């Protein structure tokens, strides 16, 4: 009997014990490159009904088979793949555990550092996220994701410093898009000429506050890259919150709350009061950090005293925005999202909440059939759901933004006007679980993906990689 089969039998003997999972995991922690232990743990996890764990370890085993002898750093790749299965399934603790093992084998595995940064950022552990992010991009600025049926080689300009990128996983299907991700904020200008051939550029740095410090760098790249670019940096820059009212000025039936940017602690109580008065911002008002979405760090201030206290402790720039009560006549708050592809509107979702800070995940949409039905009416026929005036206003906003990919979060005021919360390129789209209560929404995601594919085809010249 071979050594491997003997080891497998020994591992399976462990797997038969009542405490098998814990015992196998402890053994793998001591010997993470042991194929027999991975095989036994995969079987044990499958028997326990852990489909994610089973898949993760089977993928690791399949990858081990491709490893070339004599290249020890490559042994980290199966462990990286194992961790990434957990990461993609949102099981962050397990992902961190196995990324840690991968980095013990290969401390300079940039993609492991990159994913750990994303995990720590999602968990609110910013310092650890930045540590791994800096490590990743000091090692590597270009990350290539080949596609089995690639239609084009797409260069994606990303920010490595912070989370300011367009969420493009759904937008750019990995099976047909050869993705070349370039962390341009960490790259020297001279590295631009060393990039692999690409057909088209997608500027995915969609958060204007993140893009602002990179303005000159992005402009230089755009001038000399020699290929068409989607979402040009100058158009992204106009979507900062405090510039939105000016950008959308003159569009009928559109309301944008007054907003100012505060870059430093106010010099005096009076100076702050005067600035708010000039801007037309009274109380209550909203205070939020720059480059944030989804309500992160958002605070409603109802008095000057609480605002003054908060601003005196300010350690980073923020926005102050007039709060407008947008409650519907039925007492609920609504937030619609429309995505624009090549300036054409596509309905994406409607969240209905009892609280003014509306999020789809906290609105408990699936618990109320009436909410789901109303959202579906919006998705099926947005023009009827919004009314002719509002539908025209939303379409006009897409044309005014003049971005290749963007979106708007908004509501309808009781008088039928469109009240804009934000409009920029960072709008997330994603598919729902095929067997979940929101599976019907996937039919409205695909038209967005298809439209973005048509846009790429229309903008791309002769392929540079052929």
Give the pLDDT score at 463.
Answer: 63
Give the pLDDT score at 7.
Answer: 45
Query: For residues 104 and 313, what is the distance between their CA atoms, to the nearest angstrom?
Result: 41
Burial class of 211 by CB neighbour count within 10 A (0 to 12, 13 to 18, 19+): buried
Structure tokens at 220: 């230089």
For residue 63, count other CB atoms closer than 10 A to its CB.
Answer: 17
What mean pLDDT comes out for the span 389-418?
98
pLDDT at residue 163 tops 90: no
Give the pLDDT score at 14.
Answer: 47
Buried b (16+ CB within 10 A) or exposed e, 330-351: eebbbbbbbbbbbbebbbbbbb
User: Please, are residues 412 and 327 in contact by the beta-carbon 8 Å criterion?
Assistant: no
For residue 171, count other CB atoms closer than 10 A to its CB.
Answer: 23
Bond into 284 cis (ω within 30): yes
For residue 130, count other CB atoms closer than 10 A to its CB.
Answer: 15
What fold does the segment set 3-139 form as a domain?
Answer: 1.25.40
Kindly report whether the global pTM for this prediction surpasses the value 0.75: yes
Mean pLDDT of the chain: 92
Give the class (CATH, top level) of 333-457. alpha beta
Per-residue pLDDT tens digits for 33-71 = 999 999 999 999 998 899 999 999 999 999 888 876 667
Structure tokens at 313: 């402790």
Instruction: Select from 1.10.12.10, 3.30.1490.20, 3.40.50.300, 2.120.10.30 the CATH code of 258-322.
Output: 3.30.1490.20
Query: For residues 386 and 399, what is the distance between their CA atoms, to the nearest angstrom?
Result: 18
What mean pLDDT comes out for the span 407-418?
97
DSSP per position, 377-442: HHHH-HHHHH-HHHHHHHHHHHHHH--SEEEEEEEE-TTSPEEEEEEES-----PPPTTSTTGGGH
pLDDT at residue 180 tops 50: yes
pLDDT at residue 464 tops 70: no
What mean pLDDT comes out for the span 115-140?
92
User: Please, are residues 139 and 113 in contact by the beta-carbon 8 Å criterion?
Assistant: yes
Query: For residues 411 and 91, what is the distance between their CA atoms, to the nearest angstrom?
Result: 34
Please list, in sequence order, all residues whose beta carbon lies within 8 angstroms of the beta carbon of residue 228, skipping any fewer than 6 positions away.
Answer: 200, 201, 459, 460, 461
């Amino acid at each position: 009997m071979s050594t491997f089969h003997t080891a497998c039998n020994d591992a399976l003997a462990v797997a038969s014990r009542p405490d098998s999972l814990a015992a196998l995991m402890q053994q793998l922690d001591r010997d993470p490159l042991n194929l027999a232990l991975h095989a036994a743990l995969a079987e044990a996890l499958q028997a326990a009904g852990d489909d994610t764990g089973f898949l993760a370890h089977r993928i690791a085993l399949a990858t081990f088979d491709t490893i070339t002898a004599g290249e020890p750093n490559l042994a980290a790749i199966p462990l990286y793949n194992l961790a990434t299965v957990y990461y993609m399934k949102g099981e962050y603790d397990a992902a961190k555990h196995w990324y840690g093992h991968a980095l013990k084998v290969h401390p300079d595995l940039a993609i492991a550092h990159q994913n750990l940064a994303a995990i720590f950022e999602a968990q609110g552990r910013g310092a650890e996220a930045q540590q791994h992010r800096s490590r990743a991009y000091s090692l590597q600025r270009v990350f290539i994701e080949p596609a089995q049926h690639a239609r084009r080689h797409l260069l994606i300009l990303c920010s490595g410093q912070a989370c300011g990128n367009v969420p493009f996983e759904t937008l750019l299907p990995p099976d047909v898009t050869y993705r070349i991700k370039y962390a341009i904020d960490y790259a020297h200008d001279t590295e631009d000429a060393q990039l692999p051939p690409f057909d088209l550029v997608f500027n995915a740095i969609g958060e204007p506050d993140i893009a602002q410090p990179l303005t000159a760098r992005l402009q230089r790249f755009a001038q000399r890259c020699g290929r068409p670019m989607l979402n040009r940096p100058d158009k992204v820059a106009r979507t900062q919150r405090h510039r939105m009212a000016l950008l959308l000025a003159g569009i009928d039936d559109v309301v944008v709350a007054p907003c100012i940017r505060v870059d430093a602690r106010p010099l005096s109580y009076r100076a702050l009061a005067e600035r708010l008065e000039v801007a037309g911002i009274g109380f209550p008002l909203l205070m939020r950090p720059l480059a944030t979405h989804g309500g992160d760090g958002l605070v409603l201030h109802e008095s000057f005293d609480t605002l003054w206290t908060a601003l005196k402790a300010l350690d980073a720039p923020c926005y102050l925005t007039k709060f407008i009560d947008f409650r519907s006549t039925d007492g609920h708050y609504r937030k619609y999202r429309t995505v624009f592809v090549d300036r054409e509107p596509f309905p994406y979702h409607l969240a209905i909440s009892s609280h003014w800070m509306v999020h789809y995940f906290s609105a408990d949409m699936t618990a109320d059939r009436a909410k789901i039905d109303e959202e579906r009416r919006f998705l099926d026929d947005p023009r009827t759901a919004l009314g002719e005036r509002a539908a025209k206003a939303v379409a006009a906003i897409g044309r005014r933004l003049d971005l290749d990919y963007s979106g708007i979060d908004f509501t309808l005021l009781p008088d039928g006007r469109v009240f804009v919360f934000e409009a920029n390129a960072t709008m997330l789209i994603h598919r729902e679980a095929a067997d979940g209560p929101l599976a019907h929404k996937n039919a409205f995601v695909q038209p967005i993906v298809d439209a973005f594919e048509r846009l790429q085809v229309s903008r791309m010249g002769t392929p540079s990689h052929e």
